[in-house]
Structure 1
Amino acid sequence: MAAQEETLLARCEIPIIDLAHIGTDTCPMRSVVRRIGQQLFAALSGKGLAMLVNHGITEEKLKAVYVDLDNFCALPEGCQSQYLKKPVSNHGYIRPGMEQFDSTKKELRHSFNITTLSAAAMPAEEEVPQFINHAEPLAKDLTNLSRVLLQALAYALGLPPATLLECHSGMLESDGKNPSTMRILYYPPVPPEDEGPCCQSDAVLYTRCGAHSDYGTFTLLAQDSEGGLEVKLHGSEKWEAVGHLPGAILVQTGELLAGWTTNLLPALMHRVVVPSGAYARARGRHCVEFFCHPDNDAKLPNLPPRAAPAPAPPTYTPHAHITLHHRLLNAAHHLHKRFRETYA
């Protein structure tokens, strides 16, 4: 029997934050939000990520969109093509190879970006029944969870609680002013040729997602139990397997928040690798991500001064246009630059 993979969760190295009794984004329990903000700030500044439990998003909602994406991937290629991602809106289907982080390997990944909840932008009912009916409530749940976390972060950063909400007011509003995105992902089984062909020069090397850091404020990630997610913790160059906590949602800092806080809340490099063992390699992997972004024209406020220990050497070097002191940030400039670097 294969040895069990050692993970950060198994070693109790990822903070777990309980969101029970926090209330809603429109009616939060202030004392709980303040406590969550302190815990979230400590987790993101110390580790760069945390696990959220008792967040209220059911496993059934996640499994429903996983099945819908599987059904979409089974459609004829010509049918899929009419839903390909639009460059301006970032909404739509991304075939394997369209988005590339690792130039040395073939990345095996299907994804469907949702930046608008308009039914006209979703797969038709006759092609993938219930797609919009499953995706819309999940997207709203993740948006509302993000709004609660933004209030918690504002408290922790010494800002009025509505400050970050105002900078993120347009999430999934369908008017193009905010690039926040819910992404449904399917990583298919790994082809057998990656297991070692006779001629090494003919080898096709695969990965599921190459190393990168996310671009926005923060990312929420719900994933199945198949594994493969690895991160470099703040100040470390070692790749560590994250592991799986049933029912939990992972939150990690994005580049904009890292730059705005002068890397006090670091954006971690992460990747999804092909698991070892024939059984695991022959299985698909599913997850849902929510990329929380500021509005395109958001001007992030100056942070109150705070005493802080010297940060560890960064694993992510903020882009120069983010780190210039006293400069008003335009979120759209940063996002468009990073998209140009990512998409073929």
Structure 2
Amino acid sequence: MSAQEETLLARCEIPIIDLAHIGTDVCPMKSVVRRIGQQLFAALSGKGLAVLVNHGIAEEKLKAVYIDLDNFCALPEGCQAQYLRNPVSNHGYLRPGMEQFDSTKKELRHTFNITTLTAAAMPAEEEVPQFINHAVPLARDLTNLSRVLLQALAYALDLPPAILLECHSGMLQGDGRNPSCMRISYYPPVPPEDEGPRCQSDTVSYTRCGAHSDRGTFTLIAQDSEGGLEVKLHDSEKWETVGHLPGAILVQTGELLAAWTTNLLPALMHRVVVPPGTYARARGRHCVAFICHPDNDAKLPTVPPRAAPAPAPPTFTPHAHLTLHHRLLNAAHHLQKRFRETYA
């Protein structure tokens, strides 16, 4: 069996949701949003993830920010240093090793977090031409797509359609009240010493992103065709390769939504591994992730009870304060705790 046949997408095990004819994020077609909400709820409750197609975000926009990040990574370290991540706003550049999910391996990843769209927070035009002209429209597209999904989720959870929008009203506003973030990531080729060390003491073990679940409401993921993304489905302890569908965007539940729905919509553990084979290891990988997060002071509404809630999956255990207070979440407390666990 080929590697392609072994992926979840190739086996048709990830639900695909068609967003065609949805309208705009300001005035979406309610009948279509209800249909998408039903499909999204079924996918996230059953699998923990779904694939979105016909979402309206051109592949060229993604490729442009991939090239911009490559150009940023080629800058001298001194130039990069002025854009390092601000621990308060979470905006800025992360060199490999600054963010660690797996303490046993070296994580090969360059990331530029975008939490505000102001020009002053972006790489200068003379350093990375067009960075802001490419990143800002893409961030706005992903924000608008998140707004549509929030309305769809509200319908599916039997809530007023605007209530989740109100809880997420500050996305990428840059005023510090909402930690939503667009992350542009580049995973460089694997160094040769990882392939065949001469003795055990010389072993250097690499990965691209260690296992973790995302912090927010949900995450949108667009990726190139290089592969490496793996998940643990909520009914299994086995790592499964997701695979690639050209032009599609993956959506998966975050920890806050999982806790808020008492794990009815589970947050999956996922990671990015180094692919096998010399050719694949010598190639870089790119992705964009948009982490949709509620406002820091948001008080999420109570979800109407379901007749037969799904059993709690073993792959995600909500933090104690989330479980006890899931009706009145303070998203800022949860996020700051997770930042302390992750950043060096």
TM range (shorter): over 0.9
What residue is the counterpart of 2:8 in the other structure? 8
**What residue ranges of structure 1 are gaps of 5+ in the alignment?**
none
Deviation readout 1:247-267 (Å, 9 max, x if unpaired): 000000000000000000000
What residue is the counterpart of 1:270 in the other structure? 270
Q: Output the amino acid matched with 2:162.
A: A
1:120 is the counterpart of 2:94: no
Q: Output the amino acid matched with 2:329.
A: L
What residue is the counterpart of 2:133 in the other structure? 133
In the aligned structure 1, how far is the partner of 2:17 from the partner of 2:4?
25
What residue is the counterpart of 1:58 in the other structure? 58
What residue is the counterpart of 2:29 in the other structure? 29
The size of the alignment, in residue pairs, is 344
What residue is the counterpart of 1:177 in the other structure? 177
In the aligned structure 2, how far is the partner of 1:315 from the partner of 1:34?
29
Contact 2:260 2:327 (8 Å CA) reproduced: no
TM-score (norm. length: structure 1): 0.98
In the aligned structure 2, how far is the partner of 1:309 from the partner of 1:24?
32
Q: Output the amino acid matched with 1:147.
A: R
Q: Output the amino acid matched with 2:203.
A: A
Deviation readout 1:45-67 (Å, 9 max, x if unpaired): 00000000000000000000000
In the aligned structure 2, how far is the partner of 1:129 from the partner of 1:110?
19
Deviation readout 1:155-207 (Å, 9 max, x if unpaired): 00000000100000000001010000001000000000000211111110000
Cα gap change, 1:204 to 1:5, in 2 (>3 Å): farther
Deviation readout 1:104-153 (Å, 9 max, x if unpaired): 10000000000000000000000000000000000000000000000000
Contact 2:263 2:310 (8 Å CA) reproduced: no
In the aligned structure 1, how far is the partner of 2:142 from the partner of 2:4?
32
In the aligned structure 2, how far is the partner of 1:317 from the partner of 1:67?
37
What residue is the counterpart of 1:298 in the other structure? 298
**What residue ranges of structure 2 are gaps of 5+ in the alignment?**
none
Contact 2:4 2:243 (8 Å CA) reproduced: no
Cα gap change, 1:328 to 1:184, in 2 (>3 Å): same
Stretches of 4+ aligned residues off by more than 6 angstroms: none
- How well do the aligned residues superpose, as a CA RMSD in angstroms? 1.2
Deviation readout 1:66-107 (Å, 9 max, x if unpaired): 000000000000000000000000000000000000011000
Q: CA deviation at 1:235?
A: 2.2
In the aligned structure 2, how far is the partner of 1:202 from the partner of 1:2?
32
Cα gap change, 1:163 to 1:75, in 2 (>3 Å): same
Contact 2:114 2:183 (8 Å CA) reproduced: yes
Identity in percent: 89
Q: Secondary structure at 1:313's aligned position in 2?
A: coil
In the aligned structure 1, how far is the partner of 2:193 from the partner of 2:173?
44
Q: CA deviation at 1:309?
A: 4.2
1:79 is the counterpart of 2:79: yes
What residue is the counterpart of 1:165 in the other structure? 165
In the aligned structure 2, how far is the partner of 1:2 from the partner of 1:235?
24
Q: Output the amino acid matched with 2:249.
A: I
In the aligned structure 1, how far is the partner of 2:16 from the partner of 2:2?
28
What residue is the counterpart of 1:219 in the other structure? 219
What residue is the counterpart of 1:42 in the other structure? 42
Deviation readout 1:4-35 (Å, 9 max, x if unpaired): 46100011000000000111110100000000
Contact 2:264 2:312 (8 Å CA) reproduced: no
Q: Output the amino acid matched with 2:230.
A: E
In the aligned structure 2, how far is the partner of 1:2 from the partner of 1:55?
30
